[in-house]
Amino acid sequence: MSKKMYKNIISKVKENSIADELGIEPGDVLVSINGKIINDVIDYLFQVADDYIEVEIEKKDGEIWLLEIDKDYNEDLGIAFNNPILDKAKHCQNKCIFCFVDQLPQNMRKTLYFKDDDSRLSFLQGNFVTLTNLSDEDIDRIIKYNISPINVSIHTTDPDLRIKMLNNKNAGNVLKRLKQLTDNRITVNGQIVLCPNINDGDNLDKTIKDIYPMYPNLHSIAIVPVGVTKYRKNLYYIDTFSKEKALEVIRQIERWQSFLKQKIGTNFVYLSDEFYILADEKLPDYKSYEDFPQLENGVGLMRKFEQEFFARLKSLPNNLTINKSIGIVTGTSAKPFLNKLAQKLTEKIDKLKINVYSIKNKFFGETITVSGLITGQDIIEQLKHKNLEEEILIPKSMLKAEEDIFLDDITLKDIEKSLNTKVTTCEVNGQTFIDTIIK
């Protein structure tokens, strides 16, 4: 049987894994497990979980191997695939009034324009799904295979408003879908993209009131402010949050957190760091973020980074001398925060100099202030006249996952060549931040 008929081409085999010991190699094809054809990654994870499995492999030369494997329950084989979900990702059928993809400029790489709404990617990669593109059979399959956790874009529980916001006639049953999942012990983390004068205020109160009784299986809710780029043309009008509006939201959520802490023993609902920056308000303390369930939404990211930073700073030896200069590149919203940390580090380390360079987002528009949406061309344009004589440090969140490339396809090497300096990347972690600087 031709390899072209399969989607399950193995791309990597982990060293010393079961697959490695059995002679499975990259380029081999997974045909079946326990006689079941594997249609997607959920089938794979379900079938591979047993402590005894029979795995059919087609080798690169066409030879078929049938492997009988005794292993621990839920122990993986140690293989990865060219396509991580082993199937075509489901395209989003919504036309959300706040969709960021609809606000992108033309002529960017094609993958940036693909809108997925696939529960498998939610489970594997943390993507958020709206549940509007799932059939009843899909929901049943999630429950049967215990696909958990799932990240869900809720936005509002008002049926008519959700239909309007998502531009999808099937969007109004979110409460029913959430209850169906959580009643069957599927863990859900929720997201609300908050739009001024649309789903905020009384509507936000209603949404929280409707969903908090689903705790603990509905584990947490993150609220993030809507992002509006300069390319938002011929689309539904959406305003951005002013300082006053952001402060109103903070006070509203503080009231809810006080109530929920008494009612269900947790804050449950959290605001992204952007709200506190917009309002020029102090971040909540470290403990208020509890288990940091929504870091991917920028909830508590700065407070966690700060905690990691000061723990590492305290462990540094006294009288440390490092004669070097470092430039830190960030978005405009994080500059005051990083300035404070840079000052603390230079006070601790003799002869260390740190400059923090905030990059205005000319590419998407200056209303976009987060570091993760900074482009390579903006970095080059705003730093090329500074005649840098220092190594530049940028967060990995600016780059495509596993690649040294920015959203506008500028590479790290392009930055180094244009600025005539070394560029180093760093994970968004306070300890790693210090270690990268002093290495």
**pLDDT tens track for 373-409:** 899 999 999 999 888 889 999 999 999 877 899 988 8
What is the rounded average pLDDT for all residues in the chain?
88
Write out the residue range of the structural domain in which residue 340 sits.
305-438
10 found inside a domain: yes
Q: Are residues 345 and 352 in contact, defined by beta-carbon separation less than 8 angstroms? A: yes
pLDDT at 40 over 90: no
Lowest mean pLDDT among 135-149, 295-309, 345-359, 380-394: 135-149
Question: Are residues 143 and 241 located together in one domain of the fold?
Answer: yes
Q: Give the whole-angstrom CA distance, residue 238 versus residue 228.
A: 8
| Residue 36 DSSP code | E
Q: Give the whole-angstrom CA distance, residue 27 versus residue 343.
A: 51
User: Residue 5: pLDDT band by 50, 70, 90 thresholds?
Assistant: very low
List Cα–Cα distances, 63 to 59, 134, 408, in angstroms: 5, 38, 44
User: Residue 231: pLDDT band by 50, 70, 90 thresholds?
Assistant: confident
What contacts 24+ positions apart, CB below 8 Å, involve 105-111? 105/231, 105/363, 108/407, 108/408, 108/409, 109/409
Question: Are residues 141 and 22 located together in one domain of the fold?
Answer: no
Nearest Cα neighbor of 155 from 175, 136, 139, 183 is: 175
Question: Are residues 8 and 24 located together in one domain of the fold?
Answer: yes
Question: Are residues 379 and 245 located together in one domain of the fold?
Answer: no
Lowest mean pLDDT among 63-72, 127-136, 234-243, 291-300: 127-136
pLDDT of residue 1: 40
Question: Are residues 161 and 285 located together in one domain of the fold?
Answer: yes
**pLDDT tens track for 79-121:** 888 765 545 555 667 788 888 877 878 777 666 555 555 445 4
Q: Give the whole-angstrom CA distance, residue 398 versus residue 390.
A: 20
Nearest Cα neighbor of 123 from 157, 84, 174, 95 is: 84
CATH for 310: 3.40.50
Average pLDDT over residues 271-294: 96
Which pair of structure tokens corresponds to residue 112? 């940036």
CATH for 184: 3.80.30.10
Question: Are residues 163 and 289 located together in one domain of the fold?
Answer: yes
Question: Are residues 203 and 157 located together in one domain of the fold?
Answer: yes
Question: Are residues 293 and 385 located together in one domain of the fold?
Answer: no
Last residue of a domain, one of 297, 315, 347: 297
**pLDDT tens track for 193-213:** 999 999 999 999 999 999 999
265 found inside a domain: yes
Last residue of a domain, one of 255, 281, 297: 297
Strands 128-129 and 423-426: unpaired
Percentage of the chain modeled with pLDDT above 90? 62
270 found inside a domain: yes
pLDDT of residue 252: 98
pLDDT of residue 52: 92
19 found inside a domain: yes
Which pair of structure tokens corresponds to residue 33? 């497990």
pLDDT at 134 over 60: yes
Lowest mean pLDDT among 107-116, 123-132, 367-376: 107-116
Question: Are residues 192 and 248 located together in one domain of the fold?
Answer: yes
pLDDT of residue 3: 44
177 found inside a domain: yes
Nearest Cα neighbor of 430 from 315, 278, 280 is: 315
Average pLDDT over residues 257-270: 97
Question: Are residues 44 and 126 located together in one domain of the fold?
Answer: no
Last residue of a domain, one of 297, 324, 346: 297
Q: Give the whole-angstrom CA distance, residue 317 versus residue 169.
A: 62
Strands 52-58 and 29-33: antiparallel
Question: Are residues 247 and 327 located together in one domain of the fold?
Answer: no
Question: Are residues 421 and 281 located together in one domain of the fold?
Answer: no
pLDDT at 439 over 70: yes
pLDDT of residue 109: 67
**pLDDT tens track for 293-325:** 999 889 999 999 999 999 999 999 988 999 999
Q: Give the whole-angstrom CA distance, residue 14 versus residue 390.
A: 39
Sign of CA dihedral 283, 286, 290, 291: positive
pLDDT of residue 2: 42
Q: How many domains does the chain have?
A: 3
348 found inside a domain: yes
pLDDT at 125 over 60: no
321 found inside a domain: yes
Highest mean pLDDT among 100-109, 134-143, 332-341: 332-341
91 found inside a domain: no
For 169, phi then psi, to 5°, come to -65, -15
Highest mean pLDDT among 90-99, 137-146, 241-250: 241-250
Ranges of beta strands (E only) in 335-413 are: 349-359, 391-395
